[in-house]
Structure 1
């Protein structure tokens, strides 16, 4: 880990369960058809402006399933696989169970590999709290990519008879009943912008609580631990959501004041604001009239999905291409739980030309690798132990040279390119002994004589080319070589290790080199993307050319194995 770097939203996903439920259909899902309830429902719906919403009741889905579906869609939208995600951060008001944490349950649903987890508690602002933590982890270089999800399944506590438990609900509780609904929204964070389309750079995320001066406005479960049983708690209505609606205007005033303190609203091009009802939107616009021209909300068509709402809004705005490069987007979530204000500022950035061209190089490289005999045998499950030993033997010669060319490159960077020099020094220190892992794997599978083997033609050409490039003044072009070599570790090494283990019955100690690079090169790629972000326009052609040559020579190295 080193200096913080930029963080980008590169994928969005949302999931609203079941068919849309119109205002005339609510009672069929939640109950409450008596005349008094019908009148209260009509008043609430007139105030909140919601025309349709979604409920998971009847679908059999759990909250974690809603969240997992949204995460899966966001990861797919980002063009990634789940095992490329290093952290999962979740926000929800009420999970499906008290223990374990909500993030762990969602991770169990989405799969992928080992990852860091964070479960943010609270109410509506918990989604942005999760975003803040995940963005910080990516910015610090702890993960190259993270997924963030806000999810709610509140309908289960709004339906009869649970909602009516403990006596006749108050008018404030009825407000929540006809306002809240189910859904999930997610985003993927990356250390680099997308190469193929715009991304959203996260400028900052801020959250502030006023609980030191404000009583709880929204609550559920008060006193449930003292009940003799869960059934008694439910019968007493202790799990019913309650809200002090009269306190909400103060929430609006605090939110407006906090927004003005954080950002010059005249510089904002889009405002996505989580308001629970149209009446509060009108109060906000009365305070800041200019927001009416730039605000976007899908409350009327998607309902109030609590912690998911801000991401559900963002997903629709992203999908419908509302944002253009250079525009600034303010996300705002005033939470009524005990008066928490959460905000985020995003900037839409254009596709990265360098990454776009490198992505083309990578596609060409993958297509070439697919035709290499040793790669085909590994990936179709026909590789032998002899094949694996041959792979290690031929790779070793290039791996030994890796520390040399990185060190040489470090010595040739000038003071003006100090970021690249520092990164090269650190990288050389981290990887100069990697060949020892490879040698141990070779010996562990019965191989001998690896240190006496000569470089094959591809290895000779690859080493000579990269060392020649590293010897140039300010060898920025070597970022192209690193893109290919580190990318190969991230994209292929772990998969190859697992395939070889499954096919040949090898233990972890026999594939440690491949597993190490598969598990750690994602962090190296994250660092590489930070370096690509500080390159100059004049660097692009050289980096891409070096990447293309490195890819061709690396493939030749593997072709020589036979």
Structure 2
């Protein structure tokens, strides 16, 4: 079992099916137009404050969940095949067997993955989050996706809702409060390099079922029914809510909040309350929450296990969070008295990314003044210029394979990923100088000349500096050198190859080195970004990477400046 480490929410997705349904339309969708029901509906809507909600038509719960999962994975910049775990939470799946997570996995695809189907009601989504965050923190997966999803409207509509007897006030509370939707988050072992992430500080969930009876139930006695049809006719699958139990749940939630956090240190509170009347009571008990709370209950409805993720997705997407903000998630569940909480911290894009971008900007500005580069980009380069470029690059390329191998040998066992990457890189590029030699001969150069060519002062300085860094223990700073050298391949090499071909009438086989790196170094840059992820929270490593990148950039430019 690996050591635990920080985990981050790096993507969010929410799926609310169909067009919003306003308060004047819900009776036409769910039934209940008689005067008594209309009066109860008006009382419930006045209490919960919901103005619109969403109901699925012709969809399954797994379809709603799959849509939210796909949005979250895309938002995180991942492919489904990169997800190692799917954790789901829902009140009622589409069927009793198999588990809900297996059905969602079958719909979203990807590859083999760990599954978890969390049961319960509203807090089941938080249970899924806790399990996924724990698995990623233990190093079992690099990324996991969590989804809470509900398709409750199918048991709220007549005649199913009134099956087995007359509707009651408690049942009507659910009928005019609950709605359909799904929300998902991606939990990753590394923060995003390009935008904010939400670090998961902790997730806490506590049941008080030993002290309280069930407050919400469905399906009681269905196993004793002679048939599924008889259970349906008796209304055994109809959701029932004991509204009188809710004040006790409210008190438990307030007590747990006070025990877990000092609200004065929280910047945003996302609380899953089923009605604005409960919101008002929370504000009265904990006044500090009033100024920091966010809820979209009024516009999205109560989507049960999905609600907290639907809230989080909107709050994050609309820019409510900034780096350093602390976000409290709170989900009380009236199924049988569970209260769940999570604390998140918004972390900005690593400073490392901004610093490296600044290094690159400086390099581009410097290259614009280098004579050989200016002639290539001004369409005034000669064949002698191109041959001189190849002669000078060849000496540095030969050295490249050596310093990469040296770096690999100096990474410790704790840096095995960097060591493995360096070994792969050395194996891929140690023969690249042969491409240079072939290109040189193909444009009229003498093979002996390029092989006997001496390093210019810039090449000497660059080789000496990088070899020195590669000889140190755990030379993680060489990622900065990789950023510059591979970045030049991705950003410049292919463009230079095409310009030289146009200016000098060269064939592809005469610019194969530049074309190869222009077309393939993007993969190396992607690998570099992957390796940078775990280092972004280490300020010493980040400073070293930027320092080496800046020196490498200056010496690489000097190498090109020395080409006469």
User: TM-score range with shorter-chain normalisation?
Assistant: 0.7 to 0.9
Corresponding residue of 1:541: 546
Residue aligned with 1:316, SS? helix
Residue aligned with 1:99, SS? coil
Q: 1:115 aligns with which of 73, 90, 113?
A: 113
Tell me if the contact between 1:47 and 1:277 (Cα under 8 Å) persists in the aligned partners: yes
Residues 405/166 of structure 1: CA separation in 2 closer, same or farther (3 Å cut): same
Does 2:224 match 1:226?
Answer: yes
Residues 457/403 of structure 1: CA separation in 2 closer, same or farther (3 Å cut): closer
Residues 465/28 of structure 1: CA separation in 2 closer, same or farther (3 Å cut): farther
Q: Distance in 2 between matches of 1:7 and 1:426?
A: 19
Residues 138/300 of structure 1: CA separation in 2 closer, same or farther (3 Å cut): same
Q: CA deviation digits over 1:172-196, x for unaligned, max 9?
A: 1111011100001111122222222
Residues 172/360 of structure 1: CA separation in 2 closer, same or farther (3 Å cut): farther
Residues 109/123 of structure 1: CA separation in 2 closer, same or farther (3 Å cut): same
Q: 2:533 aligns with which of 523, 529, 535?
A: 529
Q: Distance in 2 between matches of 1:219 and 1:260?
A: 29
Task: Flag structure 1 segments of 5+ consecutive residues without an equivalent.
Answer: 363-397, 411-421, 439-449, 486-517, 550-562
Q: How far off is 1:469 after superposition?
A: 3.7
Does 2:173 match 1:175?
Answer: yes
Q: How far off is 1:319 after superposition?
A: 0.9
Residue aligned with 1:151, SS? strand
Q: CA deviation digits over 1:308-328, x for unaligned, max 9?
A: 000111111111101111111
Tell me if the contact between 1:163 and 1:237 (Cα under 8 Å) persists in the aligned partners: yes
Corresponding residue of 1:457: 433
Residue aligned with 1:345, SS? strand
Q: How far off is 1:527 after superposition?
A: 7.6
Residues 458/135 of structure 1: CA separation in 2 closer, same or farther (3 Å cut): farther
Task: Flag structure 2 segments of 5+ consecutive residues without an equivalent.
Answer: 361-399, 437-458, 486-522, 555-564
Q: How far off is 1:406 after superposition?
A: 2.8
Q: Distance in 1 between matches of 2:201 and 2:340?
A: 14
- The CA RMSD measured in Å over matched residues stands at 3.6
Tell me if the contact between 2:410 and 2:474 (Cα under 8 Å) persists in the aligned partners: no
Tell me if the contact between 2:147 and 2:184 (Cα under 8 Å) persists in the aligned partners: yes
Residue aligned with 1:149, SS? strand
Q: How far off is 1:456 after superposition?
A: 4.5
Q: Distance in 2 between matches of 1:211 and 1:547?
A: 62
Q: How far off is 1:533 after superposition?
A: 2.2
Residue aligned with 2:192, SS? coil
Pairing 1:318-337 to 2, within 5 Å after superposition: 318-337=316-335
Q: Distance in 2 between matches of 1:112 and 1:189?
A: 16
Q: CA deviation digits over 1:10-30, x for unaligned, max 9?
A: 111111101111111001111
Corresponding residue of 1:199: 197
Corresponding residue of 1:556: none
Q: Distance in 2 between matches of 1:312 and 1:49?
A: 17
When the two structures are superposed, what TM-score results if normalisation uses the length of structure 1? 0.73
Q: How far off is 1:339 after superposition?
A: 0.3
Residues 529/177 of structure 1: CA separation in 2 closer, same or farther (3 Å cut): same
Q: Distance in 2 between matches of 1:478 and 1:282?
A: 56
Q: Distance in 2 between matches of 1:464 and 1:532?
A: 27
Corresponding residue of 2:470: 470
**Aligned pairs, number:** 455
